Amino acid sequence: MTEPANSSDRSMTWLYAGALLVEAVVLVALGLISNFFG
Amino acid sequence: MQLLDWLIVVGYLVWVVVDGVRRAKSTDKLEGYFLADRRLPWWAVGLSVMATQMSAITLVGTTGQGFEDGMRFVQFYFGLPLAMILLSVTIVPYFHRARVYTAYEVLERRFDAKTRALTSFLFLVSRGLSCGVIVAAPAVILSIVLGWNQVLTILAIGLPTTVYTMLGGVQAVTWTDVKQMVVILLGVGAAIVVLITGLPEDTDFLGTLHAAGATGRMQTIDLRFDLEETYTFWSGMIGGLFLMLAYFGCDQSQVQRYLTAKSVDEGRASLMMSAYAKIPLQVVILFIGVLVFVFYLFQAPPMLFNPVHEAAVRSSARAGEYQRLEEEFEAAFERRRAAAAAVGEARRGGAESELEAARAQFVTAQDRLGVVRGEAIELVKDVTGDATYRDVNYVFPTFITTRMPIGLVGLLIAAIFAAAMSSIAAELNSLSTATVMDFYRRHLRPQATERQYLLVSRVVTLLWGLFACFVATFAVSLGSLIEVVNRFGSFFYGLLLGVFVLALGFRRSTARGAFFGLIVGIGAVSWVAFARPEISYLWHNVVGVVVVVVAGLLLSLTDRRPREA
């Protein structure tokens, strides 16, 4: 059985983790671009 | 602009206004007018959050900044994703449970009426002024395109926006925002395609980026910890985090967006859309500015991007001096074009030392061009008496109107105008909400009918619209418009955030501590802003939060009266 509140919390946690992951990837990409062209 | 472009611009603006006014039918109650009965889907709210933040200034000011200064401005947004997560966990459920109209209402429940009134007043001052700047940005464009007087263009933008916001309320704001975002993205995509395909056929694209990189324009991350440097990794990550926490958590123009969401989770998801998309989108928009720089490496740029000032110099007694500078500029441009081509050839050749030598030669050529342009700008300042003259905001509009193909000019101009109007609308709507709910209903007429409140809300929206137009007439000469808005915001936002941190994070804080902590904070930020102007404005947010929280807690500890619930 699934608790709706827990399910919601879990999906929000994944949503937050995904946002941090996307930022990390973008920062690394920007660092590489700066390094390559800078 | 050709007839087709005019048709696109006028057709789009008429559609937006008509669509906004149409929403007036479903706004006969205060909750519908201000909060859409709290029934909007997350994706519409999320796009509205992004459209509200991204006004015409984002396209005009940020691309200008990318052209002049490069991409390092993107660091300003580094704290945004973390801010969105923190707000989703803390303040979004808090506001939804409290079922408030304004963010400042919760401060009365937690502290007292005067703390709510002071924070709401600070919001009204900062947002009222910045709304004027947001009106000014597209007015700058219109004045170039049409050759109209700037006051006339300000009224042409501000008044229709005021009308549909006044009649349609938050529903008009949100649903027009959704449409604006689509048009903005189409415009951004079109600009990139035109800029890249507009380069000469034999141009080495990566080589041109190397040339831009040699001038520092591809530098996106600066890890130095320097309080006097405006955009660094740390100022963005720390100062930007506080700014974004305050902007999305304490600024009614954003809080009101997610208060309209169906549920707590839909409100959270609407904020998380920005957490995912904002930084990549800003990278793209700044990159457009760099591409405009690259484009003008091979196509002769105007020496000055503001044709009005240029015409003033040409018709002055110093026209001969200006003509001599133009000749020098032309020669410097030809040298720079050759140097840029040489960078491409060196890159294709593959030898690192040759590439470095070519890049160094390009920098010398670019510096020479910059010196001539600088002399022309000084000449403009002397002739016009405008000591603050900068033409960074005219770069992208000039590119659009002189280099984009027919049809796309209309699309880009429509995108900029419509984006501006939707942001202005959101701000007018939130200014009206705070004025009516935090002052009129709370202090002046607590017992009025819904009908009376609605009427007053519409009148107040009209008054704020007129005020924004008035401020805009001064804002057009304030340099980089995006910096002006962020400076206004950074002055107040840390202070507001400090009060919310006291309210939510410290059970021991009292009403007296919060109120006088805020007063101390205003003094501290004012001192830093005026006595230490060399400190980057992003740090004002940090100073505001820290001083309000520390002073508020100390004052709370000395408060002998019983703590309020």
CB contact under 8 A, A22 and B81: yes
pLDDT at residue B562, as a whole number: 53
Please count the residue pairs, one from chain A and one from chain B, whose beta carbons lie less than 8 angstroms apart. 58
3-state secondary structure of B481: helix
Measured in angstroms, the CA of A35 and the nearest CA of chain B are apart by 8
Tokens of B193: 């395609």
CA angle (B514, B537, B432) in 5-degree steps: 60
3-state secondary structure of B40: strand
How many Cβ atoms are within 10 Å of B481's Cβ, its own excluded? 27
CB contact under 8 A, B272 and A15: yes
Measured in angstroms, the CA of B91 and the nearest CA of chain A are apart by 15
The DSSP call for residue B260 is: T
Q: Would you give the distance in Å from CA A12 to the centre of its chain? A: 12
CB contact under 8 A, A31 and B272: no
Chain A residues within 8 A of B265 when measuring between CB atoms: 8, 12
3-state secondary structure of B261: strand
Tokens of B143: 């004045």
3-state secondary structure of B186: helix
Q: Taking Cα atoms as reference points, which of B235, B213, B238, B233 lies closest to residue B223?
A: B233
Chain A residues within 8 A of B74 when measuring between CB atoms: 30
Tally of CA atoms within 13 A in the half-sphere of B265 that contains its CB: 12
CB B363 within 8 A of CB B39: no
Instruction: Return phi, psi of residue B419, to 5°.
Output: -60, -45
**Total residue count of chain B as it appears in this document:** 565
Tokens of B327: 């000749």
In angstroms, rounded to a whole number, what is the distance separating the alpha carbons of residues A31 and B289? 19
Which one of A10, A11, A21, A26 would you mutate to disrupt binding with B, by most B Cβ within 10 Å of its Cβ? A26
Give the pLDDT band of residue A2 (cuts 50, 70, 90).
very low
Residue labelled with tokens 């937050």 = A16
Q: Is A12 on the interface with B (CB under 8 A)?
A: yes
Q: Taking Cα atoms as reference points, which of B362, B313, B319 lies closest to residue B337?
A: B362
Tally of CA atoms within 13 A in the half-sphere of B103 that contains its CB: 32
Measured in angstroms, the CA of A2 and the nearest CA of chain B are apart by 17
In angstroms, rounded to a whole number, what is the distance separating the alpha carbons of residues B68 and B74? 14
Tokens of B387: 């000591």
pLDDT at residue B354, as a whole number: 87
The DSSP call for residue B237 is: I
Residue labelled with tokens 């939804």 = B96
* Complex-level ipTM beyond the 0.90 threshold: no
CA angle (B379, B382, B388) in 5-degree steps: 95
Instruction: Return phi, psi of residue B40, to 5°.
Output: -90, 145
In angstroms, rounded to a whole number, what is the distance separating the alpha carbons of residues B205 and B201? 10
CB B553 within 8 A of CB B509: yes
Chain A residues within 8 A of B268 when measuring between CB atoms: 12, 15
Q: Is B205 on the interface with A (CB under 8 A)?
A: no
pLDDT at A4 over 70: no
pLDDT at residue B565, as a whole number: 43
The DSSP call for residue B447 is: T
CB contact under 8 A, B218 and A26: no
Helix (H) or strand (E) holding B338: helix B319-349
Mean pLDDT by 10 residues, chain B (565 residues): 89 87 78 91 95 84 90 93 95 93 94 93 89 83 74 86 91 90 91 91 86 90 81 88 89 94 95 95 94 93 86 89 93 93 86 88 92 92 81 86 92 85 92 96 92 94 95 72 67 89 91 93 90 82 92 88 51
In angstroms, rounded to a whole number, what is the distance separating the alpha carbons of residues A33 and B221? 10
Interface of B with A in 232-271 (CB under 8 A): 265, 268-269
CB B280 within 8 A of CB B287: no
In angstroms, rounded to a whole number, what is the distance separating the alpha carbons of residues B466 and B454? 19
B-chain residue closest to A7, CA distance: B265
B-chain residue closest to A31, CA distance: B221
Q: What interhelical angle do B319-349 and B264-298 show, nearest 10?
A: 100
A-chain residue closest to B206, CA distance: A37
Q: Is B170 on the interface with A (CB under 8 A)?
A: no
In angstroms, rounded to a whole number, what is the distance separating the alpha carbons of residues B328 and B325? 5
Chain A residues within 8 A of B283 when measuring between CB atoms: 26, 30
> Which of B210, B268, B276 lies nearest to residue A12, judging by beta carbons?
B268
In angstroms, rounded to a whole number, what is the distance separating the alpha carbons of residues B329 and B545? 48
Tally of CA atoms within 13 A in the half-sphere of B86 that contains its CB: 18
CB contact under 8 A, B81 and A12: no
